[in-house]
Structure 1
Amino acid sequence: MPLIEIPDLAALDDAQQGLTASLDAAVADLVDLTDVDLSGLTVVPARCDAQGNLVRDDATVLYGDGSGSYFGADGNESTWNYGDGSGSDIDGDSSTWNYGDGSGSYIDGNMSIWNYGDGSGSYIDGDVSIWIYGDGSGSHIDGSASIWNYGDGSGSYVDGSASIWNYGDGSGSYITGRVSMRNNGDGTGTVNGVATAMEPLPPLPRLGASPPLAALQPLAPSCGTLVTLPGGVLFDFGSAELRPEAGAVLDAVAEALGGPLARTSTVTVEGHTDSVSDDAFNLALSQRRADSVVDALVGRGVGAPLEAVGFGETLPVAANEIGGVDNPAGRQLNRRVEILIPPV
């Protein structure tokens, strides 16, 4: 009797662990900043890697209840964690779902794998259909050929030219267009009607069950709130002196930081530039700009520890050039100050 095999549905676990984004409701503390009339200002939950380094990925959306989503830059990929153990990942024609109750699915074109969470599962593509029913039974259908295991020691194989039956009690049969073999299960049998001795057939072994999928873990708390201030509003080109127009947003940031005693953990102010000028100049300029913002916040009564760090042109968020051609819009995005505010 041909064997029934099915892909390891537990492998769906690996396909659904790509959600590593983190989340915190700290952005609610800075809601006033969203009302500041300053083009380009963004306030988002900050996401950090295992070492605590800031991950700059604006495509990740974090909702504060353990849920979150990620959208790929090419528009074809989206990943969701719903915070209750369920989640999904869709990438072009491929989609993976975990329903949080031990069940899940993987679909890629005309191929689909399902785990129903109760020990049953299936694999279906354009040619093959395989089912595991979780009670030791299952089936494999490939065109005109079908294999059945009924979970009680019996089973069958049928294709266009032959059929094989095992009745689970030692008896069975094999029939083609020219040959008919029957095993009576008592040591006797016939071949095309002629009696002969035959060993009883062993029963078919039961099929295993599909293990339930592990639920997705809720997303962990974030490492704070990231406020991005466009450099074009804060500074003139090549300058580290704050423009008068920067006063409104710096007033709002200072108020959001909560006064002298609201925070004891260090707030990091980062300066970033585009790639115009050389590395040394940009590094020094970014440091002076970060220092200017720190001085302005201290002057507005912020008592939280503030650290100014300049990164120059080393951490762009957009391309300074595309195909060797200058990209002014990208350079504008790279000229910025980012303020990383840890959770209270």
Structure 2
Amino acid sequence: MQTFRTGMMFCVVGVALAGCARAPTPVPAQDDAPMADAAAGVTGDAQDASTASDPAVPDMPVIPPIVVPEIVGVTPAQRALEGSMAAILDPVAGISVRPARCDVDGALIDRSGITRIDETGALVRNSDAGIFKLEPDGSGTANFEGGLFTVNADGSGTINGIAEPDGSEAIVRVEADGSGTYNGKSGLIRLDGKGGGTWNGESGLITSNGDGSGSWNGPDGLVRIEADGSGTWNGPHGLITNNGDGTGTIGPPARPVKMPPMPRVAPAGRFPPLQTFAPPGAPCGYVVTLDERVLFDFDKSDIRPDAAQTLDVFATALQAVQHSGMEVRGHTDAKGDDAYNQSLSERRADAVRNALQTRGVAGDIGARGFGESQPVAPNVLDGQDNPGGRQLNRRVEVFIRA
């Protein structure tokens, strides 16, 4: 007997998002035709005669798997941010880094202008590349090329804009557990993060329940599969029922036949977490802040012995950074005499410069004291002393010009 394999649509949303292609034109396959079930009441020679007139049993379609398309996440927005700002050093214990901006004469603008960093490390950047609001943990928002990107520290978030490697747009929602939705050039994909999901695309509507069952309403009809291998196919051959035990029917009228159980539906994938933002440096360089408590005892300008390791790490990082100059800048709080604070800030700046040069940091390194003239936090709050603010003001900064 000859059996005929039906032409069906094989469609998988893959990394390349190549779309769908119909299988090659069906050709007759020399094969033994499945025998009619003995339950039909025909045995022996009579059974052979009856099966000779039965139509061939077509192969049941295999439901394509739901595969998550490649999503570039916040990468385009991150690149836009980096394009408007220079590279940045990774913070280490006792050292923090923030973007630096310079005026038209190349002078450092201290924490002002369109790039702002508050005392928690949160960054706000408004430039031709877009509007970025980033938190120290990498979460934040970006309004970039008309799209809106939101990412949380746990990798969840939303994208409404450029979302695919070829620059096409999509609307994507990702949850921390891998569930979410995608609405883009590949269609509409919904995932529950547990293996279940739906894909409504060019090949039709595909559903995977995550337990081996599912359905496909596509160009070759409606296929339903249960977890035990039973199911139905209502397509070009009429209604085919598979009982999952090696038997089934074709019809109407229903004719019993032998057929293998239907293949289980592959579980759906999960959305990968969105990469968080990495705040980079600013156009004219970056400012590294050294915590006063890491370097000096109170009211002293001699570097503490236990600060050596921090300075070693910092100096090693600086040796790998290309720059056009550095300036060590000392700052104090407003407590005490102005002249004394000015002198203390200068001595501390000199001490840090000497320590970096001793550790092999080459190039032009200046040192300058600003006393209490450039606070980054209030020394007094509501008429009361503000110890936390004064601590932030007591610092040594290294301005590294890119």
Report the TM-score when normalising by structure 1. Answer: 0.53
Question: Which of the residues 104, 110, 131 maps onto 2:190?
Answer: 131
Are residue 3 (structure 1) and residue 86 (structure 2) matched?
A: no
Closer, same or farther: CA 13–167 of 1 in aligned 2, 3 Å: same
One-letter amino acid of the counterpart of residue 349, structure 2: S
Which residue does the alignment assign to 1:205? Answer: 266
**2:74/2:274 contact within 8 Å kept:** yes
Closer, same or farther: CA 131–62 of 1 in aligned 2, 3 Å: same
Which residue does the alignment assign to 2:123? Answer: 68
**Equivalences for 1:267-306 in 2 at 5 Å?**
none
Which residue does the alignment assign to 2:144? Answer: 91
Are residue 153 (structure 1) and residue 212 (structure 2) matched?
A: yes
**2:67/2:268 contact within 8 Å kept:** no
Per the TM alignment, residue 65 of structure 1 is displaced from its structure 2 partner at its CA by 1.2
One-letter amino acid of the counterpart of residue 212, structure 1: P
Q: How big is each residue's C-alpha offset from its partner over 1:291-310, in whole Å with a ceiling of 9 and x where there is no partner?
A: 9xx9xx9xxxx699xxxxxx
Per the TM alignment, residue 106 of structure 1 is displaced from its structure 2 partner at its CA by 1.6
Per the TM alignment, residue 149 of structure 1 is displaced from its structure 2 partner at its CA by 0.2
Question: Which of the residues 108, 111, 129 maps onto 1:45?
Answer: 111
Q: How big is each residue's C-alpha offset from its partner over 1:73-101, in whole Å with a ceiling of 9 and x where there is no partner?
A: x3x61122123441122112222211223
Closer, same or farther: CA 256–184 of 1 in aligned 2, 3 Å: farther
**1:154/1:168 contact within 8 Å kept:** yes
**2:139/2:277 contact within 8 Å kept:** yes
Which residue does the alignment assign to 1:232? Answer: none
Closer, same or farther: CA 71–161 of 1 in aligned 2, 3 Å: same
Question: Please, what is the CA RMSD of the aligned residues?
Answer: 4.2
**Residues of 1 paired with 2:341 and 2:97: CA distance?**
18
Which residue does the alignment assign to 1:247? Answer: none
Question: Which of the residues 206, 210, 225 maps onto 1:166?
Answer: 225
Per the TM alignment, residue 17 of structure 1 is displaced from its structure 2 partner at its CA by 4.5
Closer, same or farther: CA 257–99 of 1 in aligned 2, 3 Å: farther
Which residue does the alignment assign to 1:185? Answer: 244
**1:61/1:69 contact within 8 Å kept:** yes
Question: Which of the residues 135, 142, 150 maps onto 1:82?
Answer: 135
Per the TM alignment, residue 158 of structure 1 is displaced from its structure 2 partner at its CA by 1.1
Closer, same or farther: CA 6–218 of 1 in aligned 2, 3 Å: same
Using the TM superposition, name which of 180-189 and 160-169 deviates more.
Answer: 160-169
**2:172/2:182 contact within 8 Å kept:** yes
**Residues of 2 paired with 1:66 and 1:138: CA distance?**
39
**Residues of 2 paired with 1:179 and 1:64: CA distance?**
70
Which residue does the alignment assign to 2:343? Answer: 260
**Residues of 1 paired with 2:142 and 2:339: CA distance?**
36
**Residues of 2 paired with 1:24 and 1:256: CA distance?**
29
Per the TM alignment, residue 26 of structure 1 is displaced from its structure 2 partner at its CA by 12
**Equivalences for 1:312-327 in 2 at 5 Å?**
none
**1:16/1:87 contact within 8 Å kept:** no
Which residue does the alignment assign to 1:222? Answer: 287
Q: How big is each residue's C-alpha offset from its partner over 1:152-205, in whole Å with a ceiling of 9 and x where there is no partner?
A: 110001147610111110112111265222211111122222222111123222
**Residues of 2 paired with 1:125 and 1:26: CA distance?**
35
In structure 2, runs of 5+ residues without a counterpart are 1-62, 89-95, 101-106, 163-168, 290-337, 354-365, 372-395
One-letter amino acid of the counterpart of residue 342, structure 2: G
**Residues of 2 paired with 1:257 and 1:125: CA distance?**
64
Closer, same or farther: CA 104–15 of 1 in aligned 2, 3 Å: farther
Number of aligned residues? 223
Per the TM alignment, residue 218 of structure 1 is displaced from its structure 2 partner at its CA by 7.3
Q: Secondary structure at the match of 1:134?
A: coil
Report % sequence identity. Answer: 25
Closer, same or farther: CA 150–212 of 1 in aligned 2, 3 Å: same
**Residues of 1 paired with 2:157 and 2:65: CA distance?**
25
Q: How big is each residue's C-alpha offset from its partner over 1:304-330, in whole Å with a ceiling of 9 and x where there is no partner?
A: 9xxxxxxxxxxxxxxxxxxxxxxxxxx
Which residue does the alignment assign to 1:121? Answer: 180
**2:65/2:267 contact within 8 Å kept:** no
Q: How big is each residue's C-alpha offset from its partner over 1:219-252, in whole Å with a ceiling of 9 and x where there is no partner?
A: 899336xxxxxxxxxxxxxxxxxxxxxxxxxxxx
Per the TM alignment, residue 117 of structure 1 is displaced from its structure 2 partner at its CA by 1.0
In structure 1, runs of 5+ residues without a counterpart are 28-40, 47-57, 225-254, 269-290, 305-340
Closer, same or farther: CA 157–265 of 1 in aligned 2, 3 Å: same
Report the TM-score when normalising by structure 2. Answer: 0.46
Answer with 1 or 2: which has the greater Rg: 2
Q: Secondary structure at the match of 1:261?
A: helix
**2:123/2:279 contact within 8 Å kept:** no
